[in-house]
Amino acid sequence: MEPDIAGKPVAGKAESQLRKGVLEYCVLAILREGPRYGVELLETLGAVNVMVTSQGTIYPLLSRLRRDGLVETRWQESPSGPPRRYYELTPSGHAALKEFTAVWPHFRDAVDHFITD
């Protein structure tokens, strides 16, 4: 019933489209610093306004990452609440992240080039 973090609507048409294909790599980047679980990732992303998202986004995304072999998971008990599934990078995940960090600056500068004129 409660809208809480799980169901919070994420407004902004342009923002939503901007996140496409980037959220995935932001998650990989966060995981670079160590294993994290779903809700934890939501909080880390949400700390930056424009990256606020919802469980309906993050869990299917994490499933895809796992399906594609970019992350591995292990269950771990929680001090309070249901067990947590922790995600961590595989070598493939590191490689994908590295590839993105190489492309991103070019893309960023390209958009800046067109927008600011």
Tell me which residues touch a second copy (CB under 8 A). 12, 14-18, 20-22, 24-26, 29-30, 32-33, 48-51, 96, 99-101, 103-104, 106-108, 110-117
d(Cα 73, Cα 71) in Å, to the nearest integer? 7
Closest CA relative to residue 5, chosen from 50, 61, 62, 56: 56
d(Cα 64, Cα 66) in Å, to the nearest integer? 5
Q: What track of x and - describes contact with DNA for positions 27 through 46 (by CB under 7 A)? A: ----------xxx-------
Q: Which letter does DSSP use for residue 37 in this model? A: E
Quick one: tokens of 41?
A: 């990732």
Nearer to a second copy, 16 or 78 (CB): 16
Which residues ranging from 10 to 29 are in contact with DNA (CB under 7 A)?
A: 10-11, 13, 15-17, 19-24
Q: What track of x and - describes contact with DNA for positions 67 through 86 (by CB under 7 A)? A: ----------xx-xxxxxxx
